[in-house]
């Protein structure tokens, strides 16, 4: 602001314009124009107090009345409402506005003036711009820094409960849930429950760079965790992690974490919970109060804002919720099977000795090679070493072995000899389920191809001489060392009574 009063005061004292300019820190032209304007309005120092610098400026340089423009003024109430829609920008609305003006033979504003008048509309109406926060567009998620407490009734010790927080930035509608761990299962379950709570899915999911969500972050790329990526594909959303050490990228959930710590976690600090279900029930009650609490600076609450202006913009939920899956790498064995959690599942024989990706859920095992699913099986539960075999997966010369039965192995052993039959029956009866002994029996009979059936029969006889419960390893060792070719050892006789040392009752009779 130009110090008009000070310039006129110094001028009335006869000080030169150059000195006045140096004292008031302004140009000599400004001093000359001020003196000229005061002379035109017949003003001399000292001036009355009501003549402030602002009033003098308005008197010397009155604002020109706005000129009437022949350009059509846009409907900025409509513009402001449309900006809340997903994908709508000022540039798009200006293009539509220009098309309407051409149809009506009106002259439109240029884009810069269009945006300028919109900013003026925002200031006058105290409206909030929704360009960065569109309804149903983003869900931000994070773990709260503060933890709740759950008391273990068996040991009387307090255990931490970690709080998951999800928030919709447009309405600030929030969801919270407590978990014992911050692992992959808890992370995925929390997202599934959050989408169910909101009744829909947002188009973008913003998370932190935690290990359960992001595998690797670099300047050039972001690698999303495979399970987390499956979740986003199932719900049709896009995962966009926040930048490293940039909490402003998820400012809404950061603010919600602070509010949750105050209005939910701190509010329940004096209560004792003996299970996670009890804690979550109490948190749901506090969450309902939190979402229904009125805003301080505008009408409504988080819940009313969500129901009225955001819920209809959410994407619909899929027909079934996402089922948590884990991945591992397995190698296809020579019998065209892979072993997953001590259970065996068949794979097409073309992939023998290849490494495959295995996707495991509670009900299904899926096998992938090169990103393509090559087979799937119902997941086996219960005792270990069970088999789920599809006959088409086996080579043609081995498909007949899929129909293996105990009787078939016994019949095969009977062609070799009596001792081999006894050993085969023992190997089949050794396991609770005969199928568990099929591999061993097959390996035993294959020894006949390697060493001859005569030697196999002799080895079985030798093994039965030493023990009534021989193993495959015993017989294999006998054949490898050639012990089956040695003559049979004489039968060991028990020592006779004549040479035994037996103390009778007289020996212990001390009465004599």
> Do 138-313 and 326-400 agree at the fold level?
no
| Predicted confidence (pLDDT) at residue 506 exceeds the cutoff of 70 | no
What average pLDDT does the structure give for the chain?
85
pLDDT band at 278 (very low <50, low <70, confident <90, very high): very high
More confident residue, 298 or 12: 12
Q: Look up tokens 């005569």; give the residue.
A: 454
413 vs 396, residue with greater confidence: 413
**Spatial separation of the C-alpha atoms in residues 186 and 179, rounded to whole Å:** 7
Stretch 7-12: mean pLDDT, rounded? 89
Mean pLDDT over 379-397 rounds to: 82
**d(Cα 60, Cα 366) in Å, to the nearest integer?**
84
166 has pLDDT over 90: yes
For 69, the token pair is 């423009």
Q: What is the pLDDT of residue 198?
A: 95
Confidence at residue 130, expressed as pLDDT on a 0 to 100 scale: 46
Specify the pLDDT at position 128: 53
pLDDT band at 46 (very low <50, low <70, confident <90, very high): confident
Residue spans per domain, the chain:
4-60, 76-125, 138-313, 326-400, 405-485
Q: Is the pLDDT of residue 501 over 80?
A: no
Cβ partners under 8 Å of residue 91, min gap 6 = 111
The pLDDT of residue 374 is above 70:
yes
pLDDT, mean of residues 380-389: 84
The structural architecture, per CATH, of the domain 326-400 is Beta Barrel (2.40)
DSSP codes joined into one string, 131-187: SS--TTTEEEEEE-SS-EEEEETTTTEEEEEEEEEEEETTTTEEEEEEES--SHHHH
- CA 486 – CA 407 distance, rounded (Å): 32
**Residue 70, pLDDT above cutoff 80:** no
Highest mean pLDDT among 61-75, 113-127, 223-237: 223-237
Q: Specify the range with the lowest mean pLDDT, choosing from 53-67, 155-169, 341-355.
A: 53-67
Burial of 56 (0-12, 13-18, 19+ CB in 10 A): buried
Q: In the chain, pLDDT over 70 holds for what percent of residues? A: 89
Question: CA–CA separation, 84 vs 170, rounded Å?
Answer: 9
H-run or E-run covering 75: none
> For residue 66, is pLDDT > 60?
no
Higher pLDDT, 479 or 125: 479
For residue range 104-145, list pLDDT tens digits in order: 888 899 999 999 989 888 887 765 544 457 888 899 999 998
In angstroms, the CA 73 to CA 316 distance is 38
Among the listed ranges 198-207, 395-404, 446-455, which one has the minimum average pLDDT value? Answer: 395-404
| Alpha-carbon gap, residue 89 to 114, rounded angstroms | 12
Predicted pLDDT of residue 165: 94
Phi, psi of 378 (to 5 degrees): -65, 140
Q: How confident is the model over 422-478, as pLDDT tens digits?
A: 999 988 888 766 666 777 888 898 898 889 999 999 999 999 988 888 999 999 999
Q: Taking CA 404 as the corner, what is the angle to CA 418 and CA 340, rounded to the nearest 5 degrees?
A: 120
The pLDDT confidence band at residue 262, using thresholds 50, 70 and 90, is confident
How far is the C-alpha of 236 from the C-alpha of 229, rounded, in Å?
10
Length of the chain in terms of residues written: 512
Grouping H, G, I as helix, E, B as strand and the rest as coil, residue 288 is helix
The neighbour count for residue 269, using CB atoms within 10 Å, is 9
Q: In this predicted structure, what is the pLDDT of residue 423?
A: 92
Choice among 186-200, 202-216, 484-498 with the minimum mean pLDDT:
484-498
pTM for the whole thing?
0.52
Q: How far apart are CA 45 and CA 8, in angstroms?
A: 6
From the list 37, 46, 63, 62, the residue with the least C-alpha distance to 5 is 46
pLDDT value for 372: 93
Rounded to an integer, the average pLDDT of 405-410 is 85
Give the per-residue pLDDT at 131: 46
DSSP notation for 378-444:
EPP-SSSS-EE--GGGS-TTTGGGGG--HHHHHHHHHTT-HHHHHHHHHHHHHSSSGGGGHHHHHHH
Top pLDDT among 201 and 263 is at 201
Give whole-number Cα distances, 217 to 39, 244, 338, 473, in Å.
71, 8, 33, 52
138-313 sits in which CATH class? alpha beta
Q: What are the backbone dihedrals phi and psi of residue 356, each rounded to the nearest 5 degrees, phi first?
A: -125, 155
Nearest of 310, 284, 82, 323 to residue 200 by alpha carbon? 310
Res 378 pLDDT > 90: yes
**Lowest-confidence region among 85-94, 165-174, 237-246:** 85-94
What is the rounded radius of gyration, in angstroms, for the C-alpha atoms of the chain?
A: 44
């Amino acid at each position: 602001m130009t110090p008009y009063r000070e310039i006129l005061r110094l001028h009335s004292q006869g000080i030169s314009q150059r000195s006045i300019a140096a004292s008031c820190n302004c140009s000599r032209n400004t001093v000359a124009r001020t003196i000229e304007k005061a002379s035109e309005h017949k003003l001399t120092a000292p001036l009355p107090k009501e003549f402030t610098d602002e009033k003098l400026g308005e008197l010397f340089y009155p604002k020109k009345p706005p000129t009437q423009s022949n350009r059509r003024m846009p409907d900025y109430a409509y513009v402001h409402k449309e900006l809340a829609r997903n994908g709508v920008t000022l540039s798009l609305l200006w293009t539509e506005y220009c098309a309407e003006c051409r149809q009506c033979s009106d002259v439109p504003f240029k884009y810069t003036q269009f945006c300028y008048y919109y900013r003026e509309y925002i200031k006058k109406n105290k409206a909030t711009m929704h360009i960065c926060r569109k309804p149903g567009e983003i869900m931000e998620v994070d773990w709260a820094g503060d933890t709740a407490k759950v008391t273990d009734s068996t040991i009387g010790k307090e255990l931490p409960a970690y709080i998951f927080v999800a928030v919709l930035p447009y309405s600030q509608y929030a969801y919270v849930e407590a978990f014992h761990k911050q692992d992959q299962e808890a992370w995925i379950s929390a997202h599934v429950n959050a989408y169910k709570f909101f009744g829909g899915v947002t188009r973008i999911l913003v998370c932190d760079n935690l290990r359960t969500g992001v595998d690797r972050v670099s300047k050039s790329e972001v690698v999303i965790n495979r399970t987390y990526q499956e979740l986003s594909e199932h719900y049709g959303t896009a995962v966009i992690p926040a930048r490293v050490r940039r909490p402003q990228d998820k400012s809404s959930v950061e603010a919600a974490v602070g509010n949750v710590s105050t209005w939910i976690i701190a509010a329940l600090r004096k209560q004792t919970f003996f299970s996670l279900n009890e804690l979550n029930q109490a948190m749901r009650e506090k969450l309902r109060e939190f979402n229904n609490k009125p805003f301080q600076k505008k009408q409504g609450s988080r819940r009313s804002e969500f129901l009225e202006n955001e819920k209809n913009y959410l994407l619909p939920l899929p027909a079934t919720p996402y089922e948590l899956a884990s991945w591992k790498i397995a190698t296809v064995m020579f019998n065209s099977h892979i072993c997953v959690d001590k259970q065996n599942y068949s794979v097409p024989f073309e992939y023998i000795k290849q490494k495959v990706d295995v996707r495991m859920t509670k009900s299904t095992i899926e096998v992938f090679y090169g990103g393509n699913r090559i087979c799937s099986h119902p997941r086996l539960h219960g005792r270990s070493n069970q088999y789920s075999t599809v006959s088409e997966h086996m080579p043609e010369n081995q498909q007949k072995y899929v129909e293996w039965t105990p009787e078939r192995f016994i019949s095969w052993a009977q062609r070799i000899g009596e001792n081999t039959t006894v050993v085969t029956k023992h190997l089949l009866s050794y396991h609770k389920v005969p199928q568990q002994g099929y591999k061993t029996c097959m390996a035993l009979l294959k020894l006949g191809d390697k060493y001859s059936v005569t030697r196999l029969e002799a080895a079985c006889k030798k093994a039965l001489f030493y023990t009534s419960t021989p193993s495959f390893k015993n017989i294999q060792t006998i054949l490898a060392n050639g012990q089956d070719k040695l003559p049979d050892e004489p039968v060991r006789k028990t020592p006779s009574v004549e040479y035994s040392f037996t103390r009778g009752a007289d020996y212990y009779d001390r009465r004599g």
